[in-house]
Structure 1
Amino acid sequence: MREEIHETLSTTPNFQTELAAQLAELMPEVIADGKVDVEKLTELLDGDAAETSERFGLFWPGKKRALRAAQEPTTATLRPDFEKSKDWDTTKNVFIEGDNLEVLKILQKHYHAKIKMIYIDPPYNTGKDFVYPDNYKEGLDTYLEWTRQVNEEGKKLSTNADTEGRYHSNWLNMMYPRLKLARNLLTEDGVIFVSIDDHEQGQLRRLMDEIFGESNFVAQIVWEKVHTRKNSARQFSVSHDYVLCYARKKMQEPGDGGFQRSLLPRDNTSAYKNPDGDPQGPWKADPIYANNPYDADYVITKPDGTEISRPSGQYWRYSKATIDEAIRTRALIWGSGSSMPMIKRYLADVQDGMVPVTLFSRVFAGDNSSAKSEVKDLFGGKPLFSYPKPTRLIQRLIQIAGVGAGDYVLDFFAGSGSTAHATMALSASDGIFRRSISVQLPEPTLSDSEAASEGYGDIAALSRERISRAGVAIAKNFPGTGVDLGFRAYVLIDTNFAKWKVSSDVDRNQLEQHLFDLRESSSEDGVSADDLLSEILLKQGYSLAEQIAPVDVAGLNLRSVGDGIVLAYLNEHVKPTLEQLRAVTDEDPQRLIVLEDAFQGDDQLKTNLAQLCKSRGIEHWTA
Structure 2
Amino acid sequence: MEKLRMTSPDLTAANIDKIAELFPNVITETVEGEGEDKVVKRTIDFDALRQELSDHVVEGPQERYQLNWPGKREAAATANKLIDKTLRPVRGRSVDFDTTQNVVIDGDNLDALKLLQESYLGKVKLIYIDPPYNTGGDFIYDDDYVESVEDFERRSGIRDDEGGRLVANAESNGRFHSDWLSMMYPRLKLARNLLREDGVAFISIDDHEVDSLRKICAEIFGEKNFIAQIIWQKVYAPKSTAQWFSEDHDYVLVFARNKMNWRPRALPRTPEMKARYKNPDGDPRGPWKAADMSARNPYKAGVYPVTTPSGRLIPGPPRGTYWRFSEPKFKEMDADNRIWWGKDGDNSPAVKRFLSEVAEGRTPQTLWTYQEVGHTQDAKKTLLKYVPFEHTENVLNSVKPVELLQRILQLGTDPNSDDIVLDFFSGSGTTAHAVLKQNAEDGGKRRFVAVQMHEPLPTPEPDFDSILGIGLTRIDNVAQELREKPMLTDELDLGYRLLKVDSTNLTDVLRTPDATVQSALTGLADSIKPSRTSEDLLFQVLLDWGLELALPISVEHVEGHEVHLVEEGLALIACFEPAITLDLVRAMAQRAAEQPEGGRVVFRDSAFASDDARINVEQIFREIAPSTEVKTI
Task: Give the TM-score range, shorter chain.
Answer: 0.7 to 0.9
Q: How does 1:159-198 map to 2 (within 5 A)?
A: 159-198=168-207
TM-score normalized with structure 1 length:
0.88
- State the Cα distance separating 1:380 from its structure 2 match: 5.7
The residue aligned with 1:401 is: 412
The residue aligned with 2:631 is: 621
1:359 has 2:367 as partner: yes
- State the Cα distance separating 1:309 from its structure 2 match: 5.8
Q: Contact between 1:424 and 1:485, CA under 8 Å: does it hold in 2?
A: yes
Of residues 407-416 and 452-461 in structure 1, the stretch that sits farther from structure 2 once superposed is 452-461
- State the Cα distance separating 1:97 from its structure 2 match: 0.7
Q: Contact between 2:278 and 2:289, CA under 8 Å: does it hold in 1?
A: no
Which residue, out of 600, 605, 614, partners 1:591? 600
User: What do residues 585-622 of structure 1 show as CA deviations (whole Å, max 9, x unaligned)?
Assistant: 2223522211101114x111111101111222222111
- State the Cα distance separating 1:511 from its structure 2 match: 7.4
Q: Distance in 1 between matches of 2:198 and 2:240?
A: 44
The residue aligned with 1:105 is: 114
1:564 has 2:569 as partner: yes
The residue aligned with 2:543 is: 538
The residue aligned with 1:371 is: 379
The residue aligned with 1:6 is: 2
Q: Contact between 1:30 and 1:38, CA under 8 Å: does it hold in 2?
A: yes
Amino acid at match of 1:388: V
Which residue, out of 436, 446, 450, partners 1:438? 450
Q: Distance in 2 between matches of 1:13 and 1:515?
A: 31
The residue aligned with 1:222 is: 231
Of residues 508-517 and 361-370 in structure 1, the stretch that sits farther from structure 2 once superposed is 508-517
CA, structure 1 residues 507+274, in 2 after alignment: closer, same or farther (shift >3 Å)? farther
The residue aligned with 1:255 is: none
Q: Distance in 2 between matches of 1:363 and 1:154?
A: 40
Q: How does 1:263-282 map to 2 (within 5 A)?
A: 263-268=266-271, 269-273=274-278, 278-279=283-284, 281-282=285-286
- State the Cα distance separating 1:101 from its structure 2 match: 0.2
1:485 has 2:494 as partner: yes
CA, structure 1 residues 613+324, in 2 after alignment: closer, same or farther (shift >3 Å)? same
Which residue, out of 244, 247, 259, partners 2:262? 259
Amino acid at match of 2:478: A
Amino acid at match of 1:443: E
TM-score normalized with structure 2 length:
0.87
Which residue, out of 605, 608, 612, partners 2:613? 605
Which residue, out of 316, 319, 329, partners 2:325? 319
1:330 has 2:337 as partner: yes
- State the Cα distance separating 1:476 from its structure 2 match: 3.9
1:307 has 2:313 as partner: yes
Q: Distance in 2 between matches of 1:144 and 1:594?
A: 38
The residue aligned with 2:34 is: none
Amino acid at match of 1:91: T
Q: Contact between 1:371 and 1:390, CA under 8 Å: does it hold in 2?
A: yes
CA, structure 1 residues 512+36, in 2 after alignment: closer, same or farther (shift >3 Å)? farther
Q: Distance in 2 between matches of 1:273 and 1:140?
A: 70
Q: Contact between 1:371 and 1:388, CA under 8 Å: does it hold in 2?
A: yes
CA, structure 1 residues 474+305, in 2 after alignment: closer, same or farther (shift >3 Å)? same
Q: Contact between 1:66 and 1:137, CA under 8 Å: does it hold in 2?
A: no
User: What do residues 377-418 of structure 1 show as CA deviations (whole Å, max 9, x unaligned)?
Assistant: 223698733221111111212222244511111000001111
Q: Distance in 1 between matches of 2:433 and 2:541?
A: 30
Q: Contact between 1:288 and 1:316, CA under 8 Å: does it hold in 2?
A: no
The residue aligned with 1:411 is: 423
Q: Contact between 1:97 and 1:492, CA under 8 Å: does it hold in 2?
A: yes
Aligned pairs, how many? 595
- State the Cα distance separating 1:143 from its structure 2 match: 11
- State the Cα distance separating 1:154 from its structure 2 match: 5.7
Q: Distance in 2 between matches of 1:393 and 1:140?
A: 40
Q: Distance in 2 between matches of 1:144 and 1:427?
A: 46
Amino acid at match of 1:621: K
The residue aligned with 1:254 is: none
CA, structure 1 residues 341+470, in 2 after alignment: closer, same or farther (shift >3 Å)? same
Amino acid at match of 1:263: A
Amino acid at match of 1:475: R
- State the Cα distance separating 1:138 from its structure 2 match: 3.1
CA, structure 1 residues 386+13, in 2 after alignment: closer, same or farther (shift >3 Å)? same
- State the Cα distance separating 1:571 from its structure 2 match: 1.2
Amino acid at match of 1:323: F
Amino acid at match of 2:504: T
Q: Distance in 2 between matches of 1:143 and 1:219?
A: 44
Q: How does 1:118-137 map to 2 (within 5 A)?
A: 118-130=127-139, 132=141, 135-137=142-144
The residue aligned with 1:391 is: 402
Q: Contact between 2:303 and 2:323, CA under 8 Å: does it hold in 1?
A: no
Q: Contact between 1:613 and 1:619, CA under 8 Å: does it hold in 2?
A: no
Q: CA RMSD in A?
A: 3.0
The residue aligned with 2:289 is: 285
- State the Cα distance separating 1:27 from its structure 2 match: 2.4
Secondary structure at the aligned position of 2:178 is classed as: helix
Amino acid at match of 2:527: S
CA, structure 1 residues 521+398, in 2 after alignment: closer, same or farther (shift >3 Å)? same
Which residue, out of 523, 531, 553, partners 1:526? 531
Secondary structure at the aligned position of 2:251 is classed as: strand
Q: Distance in 2 between matches of 1:196 and 1:79?
A: 32
User: What do residues 47-86 of structure 1 show as CA deviations (whole Å, max 9, x unaligned)?
Assistant: 1897643222111111111111110112211111111111
Secondary structure at the aligned position of 2:113 is classed as: helix
Secondary structure at the aligned position of 1:558 is classed as: strand
Amino acid at match of 2:171: D
Q: Contact between 2:389 and 2:461, CA under 8 Å: does it hold in 1?
A: no
Q: Distance in 2 between matches of 1:514 and 1:239?
A: 70
Q: Distance in 2 between matches of 1:18 and 1:514?
A: 40
CA, structure 1 residues 511+63, in 2 after alignment: closer, same or farther (shift >3 Å)? farther
Q: Distance in 1 between matches of 2:2 and 2:334?
A: 75
Identity of aligned residues (%): 36
| Structure 1: 5+ residue stretches without partners | 252-257
| Structure 2: 5+ residue stretches without partners | 30-41, 154-158, 594-598
- State the Cα distance separating 1:458 from its structure 2 match: 0.4
Q: Contact between 1:289 and 1:310, CA under 8 Å: does it hold in 2?
A: no
Secondary structure at the aligned position of 1:395 is classed as: helix
- State the Cα distance separating 1:583 from its structure 2 match: 2.6
The residue aligned with 1:32 is: 28
Q: Distance in 1 between matches of 2:479 and 2:177?
A: 38
Q: Distance in 2 between matches of 1:174 and 1:433?
A: 33
The residue aligned with 1:68 is: 77
Q: Distance in 2 between matches of 1:212 and 1:418?
A: 25
The residue aligned with 1:86 is: 95
- State the Cα distance separating 1:299 from its structure 2 match: 3.4
Amino acid at match of 2:631: W
Q: Distance in 2 between matches of 1:43 and 1:603?
A: 52
User: What do residues 245-274 of structure 1 show as CA deviations (whole Å, max 9, x unaligned)?
Assistant: 1111111xxxxxx22233222223354455
The residue aligned with 1:456 is: 464
Q: Distance in 1 between matches of 2:113 and 2:98?
A: 24
Secondary structure at the aligned position of 2:92 is classed as: coil
Q: Distance in 1 between matches of 2:303 and 2:493?
A: 58
Q: Distance in 2 between matches of 1:476 and 1:236?
A: 45
Secondary structure at the aligned position of 2:592 is classed as: coil
Of residues 480-489 and 198-207 in structure 1, the stretch that sits farther from structure 2 once superposed is 480-489
User: What do residues 335-367 of structure 1 show as CA deviations (whole Å, max 9, x unaligned)?
Assistant: 325344543211232122222111111112211
1:552 has 2:560 as partner: no
Q: Distance in 2 between matches of 1:90 and 1:544?
A: 11
